[in-house]
Amino acid sequence: MAIIDSSGADGPAQLAHVVALNKKLRWACHAIRIVALVWCFWTLGLVSWIYIDRAGFLGRLNRLFGLDPATVTDVRYYVAFAVALASWSVSARLVFYIWRLARIYLDGQVFTIEAAGRLRDVAMAGVASWVADLVARPLGASLISTELLRMEPLHQWFHPLDLLHFMFFGFILALSVVFRTAAEIAAENAQFV
């Protein structure tokens, strides 16, 4: 299903509108895909960089919170690293859904039921990423040392950006419902033409 059905009375004019819309969307879709990939690998690099230097990471925790590095076992440390990687993998899934949504837009299927479904997938993957991050922060810290939960301030575990992310993905979810409803109405009206 195309963006706009060009079989109506204004066929060439509608087709020109579709081409113009596609040109506007193409650069945005490609840019969003690139930014999503950069973000994905950048966060993986940061997580890896932080945890691979065990002595440096535990040294920072010692300077900031007085945590004795000798009390942190290798098993607990690397399980905390695995939790951080698991949280990252949930975020990587979000990038996958963003990529799929951009693909359907690049195929010219912007105002379709399928596109609305893919927009919903992005919203749900975003919420899952947000929840995974919220859980991973205190879980990873408690795996390193249960004392960190008491030492670190509350804003380390939940801060205003978390609420912003939740509002953003909630807004995308609402848009997906609006777009799906509009696509269903358009499909129903096309049956009468």
DSSP 10-74: THHHHHHHHHHHHHHHHHHHHHHHHHHHHHHHHHHHHHHHHHH-HHHHHHHHHHHH---GGGS-H
> Locate tokens 């819309």: which residue?
21
CA distance between the termini of the chain? 16
Q: What's the pLDDT at 109?
A: 86
24 inside domain? no
Q: How far apart are CA 187 and CA 117, in angstroms?
A: 15
3, pLDDT greater than 50: no
89 inside domain? yes
12, pLDDT greater than 80: no
Q: How does pLDDT run across 126-142, given as a tens digit for each residue?
A: 999 999 999 999 999 99
Cβ-defined contacts of 149-158 (< 8 Å, 24+)? 151/65, 151/66, 151/67, 152/65, 158/134
pLDDT bucket at 6, cuts 50 / 70 / 90 = very low
147 inside domain? yes
Q: Which domain holds residue 148?
A: 32-192
pLDDT bucket at 2, cuts 50 / 70 / 90 = very low
Share of the chain above pLDDT 90, in %: 66
Report field, pTM of the whole predicted structure over 0.95: no
116 inside domain? yes
Looking at the 3D structure of the chain, how many domains does it have? 1
112: left (phi over 0), alpha (psi -120 to 50) or beta: beta
Q: How does pLDDT run across 41-75, given as a tens digit for each residue?
A: 999 999 999 999 999 999 999 998 889 999 999 99
Q: What's the pLDDT at 188?
A: 85
Q: How far apart are CA 54 and CA 125, in angstroms?
A: 31
- Answer whether 84's CB lies under 8 Å from 93's CB: no
